[in-house]
Structure 1
Amino acid sequence: MTRDDEGGRPMGEERNWAGNIRFSGTVAHPGTADEVRALITSGGPVRTLGTRHCFNDIADTTGALIALDRMPVVREISPERDAVRVSGGLRYGDIAPWLEAEGLAFANLASLPHISVAGAVATGTHGSGDAIGSLATAVRELTLLTASGEVLRLHRGDPWFDGAVVGIGALGAVLELVLDVEPTYQVAQRVHERPRWDAILGDLDAVTSAGTSVSIFTTWQRTDDADQLWIKQRGADDLAGDLPARLGAVPAEVERHPILGVDAEACTEQGGVPGPWYQRLPHFRLEFTPSAGAELQSEYLVPRGDAVAAIEAVRGMADRISPLLLVNEIRTVAADRLWLSGAYGADVVGLHFTWRPDEPAVRALLPDLEAALPATARPHWGKVFTLDGAEVRRRYARWDDFAALRAELDPDRRFVNPYLERLGF
């Protein structure tokens, strides 16, 4: 077993998925709600852990780190068959095949099926699609165990609901969620190579609406064209028409990984072959290490009206970005009303950066990148960013409302950690 050089502990036991964060507290694996309550109310700081697919210290604390992976498994379909109740510690990849066997589906999945439901929802994590909201928009009920030990159930439409869903771990432990589902469907995925940037930016709306889910991948090693255009479409038909050709793109002759030169074995099937929604909407298969493995990530979500300017700003920094970059993915998310969502109040375009695992160099670059992006860009809560707390707060219209909700549910600041302190809590 590989050991941590400084502490002699097993690698991964007290680290995040990427290995760049060493957790400061003691990890506990409660098996019941009463055990979670005892940990929360025993005194001292506390945070909850999902699958640790975060790249900053959002989940860290010096006290108790509550992992929900050993809680009882809850998977219950509503009588109307339009919703499913699940335990927060489950991964999407644990739920999706079971849903498919029941003839049901989620409207959306993120790039990775490896992430926990509670963690993904709490950070506003998303997939891609002009008409598809983040994973948090599927939540219709949330069960929180708060700092007082109270079980709080919030339903869509309740006064606090829109503030609590994307809760960045500040409000309590998310034990269960009820999520919207729909009848199962199939998706076909096609990859096109070398679309021209000028053509993409000349009609970005046409590009992102070419499929149910569309992603543009590039390493910025060239600034005239991107590397790949991935189009996922419900059903078997290719509804993009001649758009890829008008962009100067050509169909990929073999299956591709988003990162050039990496074997595509870990990726979901391409080539326009229809398959179940959960085997096409993610970029990566559950049984493989996703993406590159050794990496860092940042993401900024900008309103669609600012998207072209944001991409041009990144394009203008290509010579500085590309040496640190594994791949940049550009994708879309529909607007919502969740207070701390990156898509609050506006359809957004996400600029997602998968970096080489050189955190000092990445952190040295990010202030210049953040300054070049439009002042409307909101950083993903679980990824690396350097914007100061005051500037982050300025970009959320309901920030003060969330701060009041946090103070109401956690007056003793049990869930507040250094990450939240930097945001002003």
Structure 2
Amino acid sequence: MARAELAYPRRVTEQTGEDVRLRNWARNATLGAPGSVCAPTSEAELQSLLATTSGRVRVIGSRMSPGRMLGQTDVDGVLLDLSGLTGLLSITDDTATFAGATTLQDVYAVLTERGLMLPSSPGVIAEQTLAGAISTGTHGQGLNQSTIADAALAVRLVLADGSVRDFRRGDPWFGAVQLGLGSLGVITRVTLRTQPSPIYTCRKNMTDAATLDDDLTSWNRENDLVKAWWFPQEGQVQVWTAQEAGEDDVRRHREAGGGLFEHPTVSDAMNATIEQTLRQLRDDTKVAREDMPSRTVTRFRDFTDVTGDIYQVFCRGIATPQINVEIGVPLDLAGGVIKKIKDWHDQTQPRMHYPVILRCTGPSEAWLSPSHGQDTCYFGFVVYYSEDGSLSEEGVDFLREVEKLLAAEGGRPHWGKYFDESLYDWPTLYPEWESFREVRDALDPGHRFANAFTTALFD
């Protein structure tokens, strides 16, 4: 039970008088002691802070990650709030440089205004910071792209002694800096590759899950962008496949004012399935009918095709406190994993709050990316908190068992989500693991940017 409690902590439901920055966004972890948050307003001020102090340092960003990734335990440790260092710093025809603490939604807004996009599909939640997104491996969907970190052309770090170092694509250590888990230094600016942003039409369909093990690969090979939600209990899948829009759809999108255009044909094919999922969610969590978890599920009801830019189509998540486990496995193994999950589900019939999320990406160059060096299928699993901040015992058992299944298949967990680290042999999973440790020792020899979690990982 101790291991389960570590991986899936209870949530504090009532905010006390303490500084909200001392808890992560989900309020299931305390990040530091009162008075430990420092908020420099310039890179020079950050340099001075690091040069004239000692003790551990962690950046809290938008606090969206689990507490073990963000927090520190030293009495004299510092939590850095960099919300004063944000915004567009420079832009060219095919690059854009942002301060590291700029939120993804602000990055996307700047690019969209100029008809641009990143060469990576967005994740669903855009409140996270750019530095946090690349440091934990945030990704979207589609085999022609990979993580947001793979769009980076240059990254600036302020090191433990306050010095500044710039890394550019092609540098020997760039693969480590792209996704560093906050353990190498403080990211203060990132230069990203950009490209013209097309308009996409996203077709939404309900399919039978009987052939999902074969269909998943076919969908991803045949379409630009793909995302699927699998309801094992009902044997159904809602799949979104996106391609560049034709002239008629582009015209309708523009005539609608440039917002997300919803096509007139609506399908109710999955409404009964959605109601069944909602009943299980509400029975387990005792939540009101129109709370945020329920909204995340009801969005699958009465679905319709849509046309818009990549951010309008895919960056539409609802930030909801939850335990989200996401494990990436080589795409070639995904069909076999789906069959094993089907067999396990048939035997156990777990109560699920949300469908299994299926997203595939191309290979990543970042050394510690779960999709490093291989086409990858990410399997996502969600359990929502009850009103009192607890998790249902059945929900916890579901997450533990399904993670064990995927870990046994060589799965690599998403760093910014929840997982049981005891299940993974990190050096075996990541060919560049020892190289990353060497870079960490060189850039932060005193391990000032370590906390209990990263120390256990690397030391």
TM-score for the superposition, normalised by structure 1: 0.85
| 2:61 counterpart of 1:50 | yes
Change (3 A) 1:385 1:417: same
1:75 CA drift (Å)? 3.7
1:17 maps to a residue whose letter is: W
Q: Partner of 1:66 in structure 2?
A: 80
Contact 2:213 2:336 in 1 (8 A): no
SS in 2 for 1:354: strand
Separation in 2, partners of 1:6, 1:302:
38
Query: 2: distance between equivalents of 1:368 and 1:263?
Result: 27
The unaligned stretches of length 5 or more in structure 1 are 240-249, 285-289
Amino acid at match of 2:245: G
RMSD: 3.1
Gaps of 5+ in 2: 1-11, 250-264, 279-293
8 A Cα contact 1:214 1:229, kept in partner: yes
> Are residue 408 (structure 1) and residue 442 (structure 2) matched?
yes
- 1:31 matched to which residue of 2? 41
Shift in alpha-carbon separation, 1:121–1:383, aligned structure 2, 3 A: same
The aligned counterpart of 1:294 is 321
| Paired residue type of 2:309 | P
Q: Which residue of 1 aligns with 2:340?
A: 313
Distance 1:416 1:266, change over 3 A: farther
**What is the CA-CA distance between 1:364 and the residue it aligns to?**
5.0
Q: Which residue among 9, 13, 16 is the counterpart of 2:18?
A: 9
In the TM superposition, what is the alpha-carbon distance from 1:390 to its structure 2 partner?
6.1
TM-superposed deviation, 1:334: 0.4
Secondary structure of the equivalent of 1:344? coil
The residue aligned with 1:377 is: 411
CA–CA distance in structure 2, aligned partners of residues 310 and 67 of structure 1: 40
Q: Of residues 379, 388, 401 in structure 2, which corresponds to 1:368?
A: 401
Which residue of 392, 404, 415 maps to 2:426? Answer: 392
The Cα shift of 1:20 comes to 1.5
* Residue equivalent to 1:243: none
Q: CA deviation at 1:220?
A: 3.1
Structure with the higher helix share, 1 or 2: 2
Match in the other structure for 1:204 = 216
Structure 2 match to 1:217 = 229
C-alpha displacement at 1:345, in angstroms?
1.1
Amino acid across the alignment from 2:356:
N
% identity of equivalent residues: 25
Return the alpha-carbon distance in structure 1 between the equivalents of residues 391 and 306 of structure 2. 39
Report the Cα offset of residue 267 of structure 1: 6.7
Q: Is the 8 A contact 2:59 2:182 kept in 1?
A: yes
Distance apart, 1:163 and its partner CA: 1.3
Q: Deviations over 1:386-406 (max 9, x none)?
A: 132861332111000000100
Give the Cα separation in 1 of the matches to 2:22 and 2:28. 11
Q: CA offset at residue 171 of structure 1?
A: 0.2
Report if aligned partners of 1:366, 1:385 keep a CA contact under 8 Å in 2. Answer: no
**3-state secondary structure, aligned to 2:419:** coil
Contact 2:359 2:377 in 1 (8 A): yes
Alpha-carbon distance between aligned partners in 2 of 1:360 and 1:199, rounded to the nearest angstrom: 31
Q: Is the 8 A contact 1:190 1:270 kept in 2?
A: no
Matching residue's letter, 1:301: G
Structure 1 contact 236–274 (Cα < 8 Å) conserved: no
Give the TM-score normalised by the residue count of structure 2: 0.79
- Count of matched residue positions in the alignment of Structure 1 and Structure 2: 401
* Residue number in structure 1 paired with 2:255: none
Paired residue for 2:363?
A: 335
Alpha-carbon distance in 1 for matches of 2:299, 2:400: 32
Shift of the alpha carbon at 1:335?
Answer: 0.5
Shift of 1:367: 4.4
